[in-house]
Amino acid sequence: MPSDALAQRWQLPSHAGPDPLEGVPLPVALRAVLARRGTLSADQALEWLDPPDLPKAEDHFPDLKAAVERLTQACRSEEPLAICGDYDADGMTSTALLIRALNALGAQPVAAIPSRMDDGYGLNPRMVEELHRDGIKLLVTVDNGVAATEALDKATTLGVEVIITDHHTIPDPPPRALAVVHPALTPKDSPYRGLAGVGLAYVVARTLAAALTKPDAIVSARDLFCIGTIADMAPLTGANRRWLREGLGTLHRTRCAGLRALQQLSGLEERPLRADDIGFQIAPRINAVGRLGDPRLVVDLLTEDNSDEAVSLARQCDGLNRQRRELCDAIEAEAVALVEADSEPPPPFLLLAQGHWHHGVIGIVAARLMERYQRPAALLAGDGDGMFRASVRAPEGFAVDQALAKCAPFLDRFGGHPAAGGFTVQAAHVSAVHQKLSALAGTWMENKLQGLVVKPEALLRFEQIDRGLWASLLKLEPFGIGNPAPLFWARGCDVVEQRTLRGGHLKVRLRQGRTLHDGIAWRWRGETNIPDQIDVAFRLSMNRWQGEERLQLEIVALRKHYPSIALHRAGQRYTCAPSQSEGFTITNHAGESLMVERGGNGQWHCDDKRASHAYVSALIEEATIGLGLLP
């Protein structure tokens, strides 16, 4: 949370109508959230709550039939083949999913994953040569492969067939392979468009098991799909949403011994898991291995059938995760000290370089700096021979991939997407790269409104927050990219208690009317003494502690509460204030006022004939939202 957390700009939601999505079995605040996210009818809302069956994958992926026919041949002939993955959670779970599935279906798969430190990303010619020497004639890539031009050329030369399953950008010209299973090759409205690498591996495994009439052979495949999809922050819509809703409810009873061991070490109870459980507990333990260790550890863990051995492997993952946290905290402290050693404001683009920083975690720290200072950030770690390797993160609106492309003359290698990227650069060019990136970020900062914009989606009064609301909220899950957890707001909350916890978190107890609720602001960067009465923007969570469950507010932003509000429209300023009766007044700059009251039907109305004008009507609707009178 930025240091000016009390000065953030709030943008309250638009009017959602008198009864948004009437007839949908959800509380009105949740119906308002769906309506504001673009759900236009009750039928659409009901379909979101209960997603329809998916179309046949074979009808959406042009090369899926060819891939499955070749893999069917491999399974029936017990052929050895290689699964070529990646060292992040998506790549490792994808590899494990196909290893488990193909083993059960009759083939003899082996894992081939590059080293983050020695090989870099994706399939490379050396891997192809080594696998060919070992007698491998078929490679299946997962979460990589479309851009591995040299490796694919080597495979063609050696007579090795390649099936590519990947979700990264397809280059021009496209890769040469026996089959390319890629979401971009599906129809534009396909529910399979948002699949990550593990989703594509799941499509292949499901289709192959059906072709061989052995659906029981992939009983753990959906469990691994759930882990990899959430860990990779894939959009939780379409096929991802459908399969996650099916899989999360039974994931805690998985037959995969490695996943059971990870759940045990993560302290997750015998209950259906939520996306947050995976994102905050399981995924970090998997990702830490790819960052600091050998990714084969995770593949071994997720393909292990012996429970005792699985626990031993999971403990190794847990140890690497603790090491990852310590490294991140140490590098973050050092980076913050470097930024704040200069009394001047930070540059528009933060670029920090240290030879001893670890390549595996600088991306995490760059993301923390981006959040802390609300500007793009790059951390560079020494790569030997006078070279640095960088990880870049940026707020929404600053396109990392485009910025790096403009620095191409100074960079040896670069790549990424709008929110994140990376590059390799000679030490002599670091200063020039920083100047160019700061110039681009400076222009971006001038063109955007300063400060973080807080966008609550619906008003939620404290008296409405109970187990019934929580049960309804769970119907909208899983939450993540493409379907974030709703951001609510409450107006006029009294601060009963506040204290700072170890780690810099702010704990508060708030009262609205007669109802009390606890709130937590993680990694709070604002004032230590907040006002006595506040408006608060928050998400709901369930705090589980020592066997007890209690709803709490996860605070995103807060501001000092004012009984009256100001609205600015068409260059005019209007003051909106509660009246002594159940209503409010709107006063213009000339002192002219309108009285708005609640009618017998619960709707707000004004008897003044001026209220029928579209401009005034819209002003009244905006006032009812700003004064916290409508959800």
- Do both 493 and 407 map to the same domain? no
Q: Tell me what percent of the residues of the chain surpass a pLDDT of 90.
A: 73
The amino acid at residue 599 is G
What is residue 40's predicted lDDT score, i.e. its pLDDT?
85
- Do both 492 and 376 map to the same domain? no
pLDDT-derived band at 116, boundaries 50, 70, 90 = low
What is residue 467's predicted lDDT score, i.e. its pLDDT?
95
Q: How many CB atoms lie within 10 A of CB 610?
A: 11
pLDDT digits (tens, 9 = 90+) for 7-28: 478 999 988 877 789 899 999 9
Angle separating helix axes 197-211 and 64-76, nearest 10 degrees: 60
The amino acid at residue 22 is E
- Do both 181 and 278 map to the same domain? yes
What is residue 36's predicted lDDT score, i.e. its pLDDT?
95
243-247, 291-295, 570-574: range with highest mean pLDDT: 243-247
pLDDT digits (tens, 9 = 90+) for 418-443: 888 899 999 999 999 999 999 999 99
User: Cα(first)–Cα(last) distance of the chain, in Å?
Assistant: 26
Contact 481, 519 (CB under 8 A): no
Contact 537, 456 (CB under 8 A): yes
Q: What is the CATH number of the domain that holds 528?
A: 2.40.50.460
CA distances from 11 to 245, 321, 398 (A): 32, 38, 20
| Residue 107 DSSP code | -
Nearest Cα to Cα of residue 283 among 230, 224, 358: 230
**Is the pLDDT score of 202 beyond 70?**
yes
The amino acid at residue 376 is P
Q: Is residue 531 part of a domain?
A: yes
- Do both 531 and 583 map to the same domain? no
Backbone φ and ψ for 71, nearest 5 degrees, come out as -70, -30
Give the integer Cα–Cα distance in Å for 254 and 8: 44
Of 407, 438, 469, the one marking the end of a domain is 438
- Do both 348 and 312 map to the same domain? no
- Do both 471 and 492 map to the same domain? yes
Of 560, 580, 599, the one marking the end of a domain is 560
Paired tokens of 560: 């000092």
Give the integer Cα–Cα distance in Å for 238 and 193: 8
Lowest mean per-residue pLDDT among 302-306, 359-363, 372-376, 450-454: 450-454
**Planar angle of CA 37, 39, 40, nearest 5 degrees:** 130
- Do both 226 and 276 map to the same domain? yes
Of 438, 472, 489, the one marking the end of a domain is 438
Q: Is residue 189 part of a domain?
A: yes
What is residue 1's predicted lDDT score, i.e. its pLDDT?
39
Q: Is residue 470 part of a domain?
A: yes
pLDDT-derived band at 342, boundaries 50, 70, 90 = confident
Lowest mean per-residue pLDDT among 70-74, 122-126, 204-208, 373-377: 122-126
Nearest Cα to Cα of residue 29 among 555, 463, 581: 463
Q: Is residue 336 part of a domain?
A: no
Give the integer Cα–Cα distance in Å for 30 and 25: 10
Structural domain of 496: 5-16+457-560
Q: Tell me what percent of the residues of the chain surpass a pLDDT of 70.
A: 96
pTM of the predicted model as reported, rounded to 2 decimal places: 0.86
What is residue 451's predicted lDDT score, i.e. its pLDDT?
59
Domains identified in the chain, total number: 4
**Is the pLDDT score of 4 beyond 60?**
no
What is residue 6's predicted lDDT score, i.e. its pLDDT?
43
**Is the pLDDT score of 212 beyond 70?**
yes
- Provide CB contacts within 8 A for 306, sequence distance 6+: 257
- Do both 586 and 550 map to the same domain? no
Q: Is residue 103 part of a domain?
A: yes
- Do both 542 and 586 map to the same domain? no
Lowest mean per-residue pLDDT among 122-126, 175-179, 309-313: 122-126
User: What's the mean pLDDT in 262-291?
Assistant: 90
> What is the rounded average pLDDT for all residues in the chain?
91
- Do both 135 and 215 map to the same domain? yes
Angle separating helix axes 221-231 and 257-265, nearest 10 degrees: 50
What is residue 449's predicted lDDT score, i.e. its pLDDT?
53
What is residue 3's predicted lDDT score, i.e. its pLDDT?
38
Q: What is the CATH number of the domain that holds 159?
A: 3.90.1640.30
pLDDT-derived band at 2, boundaries 50, 70, 90 = very low
Q: What is the CATH number of the domain that holds 402?
A: 3.10.310.30
- Do both 549 and 411 map to the same domain? no
- Provide CB contacts within 8 A for 67, sequence distance 6+: 163, 165, 178, 179, 181, 204
